[in-house]
Amino acid sequence: MQFFATAALFVATAMAIPATLVERQSYNPCPGTLYSQPQCCATDVLGVLSLDCENPSAAPTDADDFEDICGSAQPFCCLLPLLDQGVLCQHPTGV
């Protein structure tokens, strides 16, 4: 009888403790190793060259946030950002 009461008390306590949700994965706009540089670019020329590129001012938390951070520029993932130009760029995940 004491075992049942102790077990019931333990179960009731465990159920009463609120569970906290932990975010398991963060948003990675540019997964992989090839197109791994997130950029905000004003103009894209056939996916080969993007003009007036700069790094995002903050780390994006999702695709919509990446677009908001870039503002009037377009979000891209580039192979090589060079002298404010993005070389070989593609659209990021979710955009």
Per-residue model confidence as pLDDT tens digits over 38-76: 999 999 998 889 999 999 999 999 999 999 999 999 999
- 32 within a domain of the structure (yes/no): yes
Domain CATH number, residue 83:
3.20.120.10
- 42 within a domain of the structure (yes/no): yes
- 77 within a domain of the structure (yes/no): yes
CA distances from 38 to 13, 56, 58, 60 (A): 47, 7, 11, 10
- 33 within a domain of the structure (yes/no): yes
- 66 within a domain of the structure (yes/no): yes
Q: 88 near 80, Cβ under 8 Å?
A: yes
Read off the pLDDT of each residue in 14-24 and give the average, rounded to a whole number: 67
Read off the pLDDT of each residue in 16-28 and give the average, rounded to a whole number: 72
Report the number of distinct structural domains present in the chain.
Answer: 1
- 35 within a domain of the structure (yes/no): yes
The rounded percent of the chain whose pLDDT value lies above 90 is 59
Integer Cα distance of 57 and 70 in angstroms:
8
- 12 within a domain of the structure (yes/no): no
Residue range(s) defining the domain that contains residue 52:
27-90
- 81 within a domain of the structure (yes/no): yes
| pLDDT score at 32 | 86
